[in-house]
Amino acid sequence: MSKKYRYILFYKPYGVLSQFSRDTPNQSTLQDYISIKNVYPVGRLDADSEGLLLLTNHGQLQNRLCHPRFGHRRTYWVQVERIPDAAALKQLKEGVVIKNYRTQPAKVKLLSQEPPLPDRIPPIRFRKNVPTAWLEMTLTEGKNRQVRRMTASVGFPTLRLVRTQIAYLKLDTLQLGQWRYLTAEEVKLLHSSTP
């Protein structure tokens, strides 16, 4: 293999665009955190979402990981407004209709406590008399703003969204705004999980 492939995990903060180019001078992008040239995000996280982002210069792997046919798992911690009931959780698990599209079945569970995350800056809007809850959602597809649209469709709008896992890769010890290269074992696992 003549080309040196690079694989990077990044803990994207809130407000950072998942791109290196800057549309406006004040917009934070990946170039503010990652100095490695010619690597590109595998999929996206919206500016208002946080968490794990995989970047690589391996185009073939990038295409396979993004293609819905291969159904790679992505896990999110999702803070929602109010406490979802069993009916809402069942709908999310079975699939909901968003923009004339039925989502694939998902793994969804109500977390018993708030996950260990750094405070978001700026914090979410807080309403004293409206409780919030945290869900763990694992999807095998990545439509535009899918998690937010799914929770809104069952009546529980998303307040905060953090991706914690892509396939076998996890946030683990990464701190907010930090990046690291994948280990040789992680690269091997990633390739073995893509046909």
> What pLDDT score was predicted for residue 193?
66
125 in any annotated domain: yes
Q: Is the dihedral of CA 47, 97, 156, 90 positive or negative?
A: negative
What confidence score (pLDDT) does residue 56 get? 92
Q: Provide the Cα torsion 64, 184, 162, 23; round to 10°.
A: -70
* 81 and 161 inside one domain: yes
What is the CATH number for 130?
3.30.70.1560
Q: Residue 89 domain-assigned?
A: yes
pTM of the model: 0.91
- The per-residue pLDDT for 140 is 87
Q: Residue 155: inside a domain, yes or no? A: yes
Out of 23, 46, 48, 85, the active site residue is 46
**In Å, how far from its chain's centre is CA 171?**
11
pLDDT of residue 107: 96
Same-domain pairing of 92 and 116: yes
pLDDT of residue 191: 78
For residue 131, count other CB atoms closer than 10 A to its CB: 10
- What per-residue confidence (pLDDT) applies to 69? 59
| 82 lies in the same domain as 161 | yes
Cβ(169)–Cβ(149) under 8 Å?
no
Is the residue at 1 inside a domain?
A: no
User: Do 123 and 185 belong to one domain?
Assistant: no
Assign residue 184 the CATH number of its domain: 3.30.70.580
Residues 59 and 77 in one domain: no
Residue 96 lies in a domain: yes
Same domain, 134 and 176: no
- 96 and 59 part of one domain: no
pLDDT along the chain (195 residues), means of 10: 80 94 88 92 90 90 67 90 96 92 94 94 82 95 88 96 92 94 89 66
Predicted pLDDT of residue 76:
97
Residue 2: the pLDDT is 40
Instruction: Write out the two tokens for 7.
Output: 């694989």
* Pair (133, 109) in one structural domain: yes
Identify whether residues 128 and 95 lie together within a single domain.
yes
**Same domain for 101 and 30:** no
Residues 16 and 55 in one domain: yes
pLDDT of residue 3: 66
- Per the listing, tokens 């919030």 go with 132
Per the structure, the complete domain to which residue 187 belongs is given by 7-67+171-192
Domain count across the chain: 2
Q: Which pLDDT score, from 0 to 100, does residue 62 have?
A: 74
Please say if 46 is a catalytic residue: yes
CA distances from 87 to 31, 59, 103, 115, 156 (A): 43, 41, 16, 23, 12
Verify that 60 and 46 share a domain, yes or no.
Answer: yes
Which 3 state secondary structure label does DSSP give 93? Answer: helix
User: DSSP state, 21?
Assistant: S
